[in-house]
Amino acid sequence: MDLLTTLAGFPNAAPLAGLDQAWTWSLGPVLHFAGTVTADGRRLLQTNQRGRHDEDLTRAVLSFAWQHEERLIGEGRPIAAVQGFSAAGYAFDAVAATAPEVHGHHRAQNPDLTAVTYIVFPAFETEVSGRESLEEAQARYQKMLSPAGIGREAVPFLKMSFDNPRTGGGSTNPGRALTYPRALRQEIPRLEGAAGGFVEWENRTGEVWRVAWEGGWVLSGAEGERRGMSLDEILEFSDETLRA
C-alpha cells in the first residue's frame, strides 16, 4: 500500500503545510484528520480532531510523534506516551499513541490501512502508565480520554478497588480497575464510620495506597502507615498521587 497516495485520495484531502509527507482531510465541518508516514514509509501516524480544529496543534503533534516514533510505537504497547511536548495555548505536555487493535479506525472501508495506522494525540503525562493491557488501553482511548477533543482536561490514570460495609458499596471486579478521579474523591469520605472498609488506588507510576477507617483515618502505602490525618489531608494527598 502506498500510504501517501491513500491519504491524497481521502475526502477534502490537502497537503499539510509545514510538514513533509503529511496530509489533512475532513468529513464535514466537525471531523478533521491529518496524517504523516513513519520514517520507513510503512506506517501511518494519524491525528483526529472533533469540533474545534487547530492546524497548528495538528502539525505540532505529528511532528513530535514523528521525532519520537520509536518510543511511541516501536515497543509494541497498546498505548504509550512521550513527555516533553508543548504547544502554544495548550496545557498538554505529552503525545500519546494507540495501536491498531486499540482504535480500529478505517476498519469499515480500508481494513488494510487499519493495520498500519497509529492514532496519536496531545495528552498529559499523568494519563498513560505504559503498563495498560489491551482492554485497559481500549477503555482509556474509546471511553475515558476524549482524545479528539483539543479543549479537554486531563484524566489522570487511576485504578481503584474499594469495599464499604456501611453503605454496601464495593468493587465487583477482581483487583483494581480503571476509574475516574472523581470516584476516588467520592468513596474516601464515605469510609468514615465503616470499620473494615477500605479504598485502595494505584497511579500511573504503579504506586499503591490504601485508606481505611479505624476510629480515624489510616493511610498506608510504600512509605508505611500514617495516622492522625484529617479528611482534607487525605483527599489532598490522593490528588497529589494522581499528579505524579
- Residue-wise pLDDT for 126-163, tens only, equals 999 999 999 999 999 999 999 999 999 999 999 999 99
The three cell numbers of residue 96 are 500519546
What pLDDT was estimated at residue 224? 86
Residue 4 confidence (pLDDT) above 90: no
pLDDT of residue 108: 85
Instruction: Report domain extents, the chain.
Output: 3-144, 159-242
Q: Round the average pLDDT of the chain to a whole number and report it.
A: 95
Could you give the CA distance from residue 127 to residue 104 in angstroms, rounded to a whole number?
A: 21
Residue 161 has what pLDDT? Answer: 97
Residue type, 114: T
Q: First-to-last CA distance in the chain?
A: 42
Integer CA distances (angstroms), 148 to 40, 52, 57, 153, 210, in order: 26, 9, 12, 12, 34
pLDDT in tens, 52-81: 999 999 999 999 999 999 999 999 999 999
Instruction: Enumerate residues 6+ apart whose C-beta is below 8 A from 78.
Output: 98, 99, 101, 102, 132, 133, 134, 136, 137, 138
Q: How far is CA 169 from CA 181, 188, 234, in A?
A: 17, 12, 20
Write the CB contacts of 155 (distance below 8 Å, at least 6 apart in sequence): 124, 127, 144, 145, 146, 180, 181
Mean pLDDT of 34-57: 95
Q: What is the pLDDT of residue 76?
A: 93
Encode pLDDT of 168-208 as tens digits. 999 888 899 999 999 999 999 999 999 999 999 999 999 99
What is the dihedral sign for C-alpha 55, 57, 59, 65?
Answer: negative
Please tell me the pTM assigned to this model. Answer: 0.93
- Which sign does the torsion angle of CA 39, 16, 4, 27 carry? positive
Q: For 80-116, write each residue's pLDDT tens digit.
A: 999 999 999 999 999 999 999 999 999 888 899 999 9
% of the chain at pLDDT higher than 70: 100
